[in-house]
Structure 1
Amino acid sequence: MPTETWTPAADRADLALPKRSLWQAVKRGFACRCPACGKGRLFRAYIKPVATCEACGEDLSHQRADDAPPYFTIVVVGHVVVPAILYVETHYKPDVYLQLLVWLPLTLILSLVLLQPIKGAVIGWQWAYYMHGFNPLGADDEDRTHRPVAEGDVG
C-alpha cells in the first residue's frame, strides 16, 4: 500500500502564495499605512490598529505585534541617545542636572514618536511573510489538518 508523504503547505506548488514585497510592506507600515495598498490608515488610535483597511478591505485584525515594537523602539532610541550622551559628556562635561533636563525628555519624546511607526513596520513585516492569521493556508504556514498518516506513524 503506497503511503503519501506529508509536506508543509508552503512547499506544495498547488498551494503557493504570491510573493509580497517585504520592504514595500515595511515602508508602508512605518508610514502608518496599510501594508497591502499603502492608502488606508493602519491605526485607529495611537497604537490600536484598524480591523480592516478602509481603502482595500485587507483584514488586519490578525496582527500580533505584541512586545516587538517596544523592544525595537528601545533598541533604536538607545542607539541614538546613548552615543549622544557619551559624546556630550566626554567633550563638554555639563552638570548632571543639565544632562537630566536634556536626555530624559529627549528619550521620552523619541520613544513616543517612534513607537507607532515601528509597530506599523512590524505589522507590515507580518503581512509580507504571511505570518499568523495573514496566511490563508493556516496559522503556521503548514496545513496540518490534511496530514496523511503513514503506516506505523505515531501522532
Structure 2
Amino acid sequence: MPDTDSIPKGQPPVWRAALFGLCPECGAKTLFDGPVQFQPTCRACGLDYSRYNVGDGPAAFLTLIIGALLVAIALTLDAAVQPPLWVHVILWVPLTAAAVVYGLRVAKGALLASEHQRQAAEGRQLDKPND
C-alpha cells in the first residue's frame, strides 16, 4: 500500500476517500449520487467515474458479514434480556439496512479510489510479432 507521502497533492488517501465519499483525484465530496450509486463524473474536476469497474462484488460479502455479526448480536441480546419479537423487528431491520448501505458506500469508494491511485484499467491483449 502506498504511503500518503507518495500521493499527489489534492488526492486523498484511499481510506479517507472511502469513508467520506471524496473524489480520488481532487478530494471534493462528489463521489456518490445516491446512497450507493456513483456520480457519472466529478463536478469539481471532471474525473470520469464510469471508467472504473467497481461492480457489485462487495455486496455479497458485506451482506453476509454484516448479517452474521448482527445475528450474533441479536441472539446475544435475546439470551440476555429476552425482549418481545417486535423489539427485535424495530431494532434490527433498520440497523441492518443502514449497516449494509454504509458498508457498500465505503467498500465501493475504497475500490474506486484504489483503482484510480493504481491507474487500473481493462486488460489488453498485446499484439504478437509476426514470425
Q: In 2, are the aligned partners of 1:28 and 1:34 still within 8 Å (CA)? A: yes
**1:4-153, aligned counterparts within 5 Å?**
24-131=13-120, 135=121, 139-140=122-123, 144-149=125-130, 151=131
Q: In 2, are the aligned partners of 1:47 and 1:116 still within 8 Å (CA)? A: yes
Percent identity of the aligned residues?
A: 24
Which runs of 5 or more structure 2 residues have no equivalent in the other structure? 1-5
For residues 40 and 85 of structure 1, the distance between their equivalents in structure 2, rounded to whole angstroms, comes to: 35
**CA shift digits 1:50-109 (9 cap, x unpaired):** 233233332222122222232243145225412321221222222333222221222123
- Give TM-score scaled by structure 2 length: 0.70
For residues 29 and 96 of structure 2, the distance between their equivalents in structure 1, rounded to whole angstroms, comes to: 30
How many residue pairs match? The answer is 123
Q: In 2, are the aligned partners of 1:25 and 1:125 still within 8 Å (CA)? A: yes
For residues 39 and 14 of structure 2, the distance between their equivalents in structure 1, rounded to whole angstroms, comes to: 16
For residues 38 and 112 of structure 1, the distance between their equivalents in structure 2, rounded to whole angstroms, comes to: 22
Larger Rg: 1
Instruction: Name which structure has the greater RCO, CA cutoff 8 Å, separation 6+.
Output: 1
- Give TM-score scaled by structure 1 length: 0.61
Give the superposed CA RMSD.
2.9
**CA shift digits 1:114-149 (9 cap, x unpaired):** 333332222112223333xxx3xxx22x5x343335
Q: In 2, are the aligned partners of 1:29 and 1:35 still within 8 Å (CA)? A: no
Displacement of 1:41 in angstroms is 0.6
Q: Show structure 1 runs of 4+ deviating over 4 A.
A: none
Q: In 2, are the aligned partners of 1:72 and 1:118 still within 8 Å (CA)? A: no
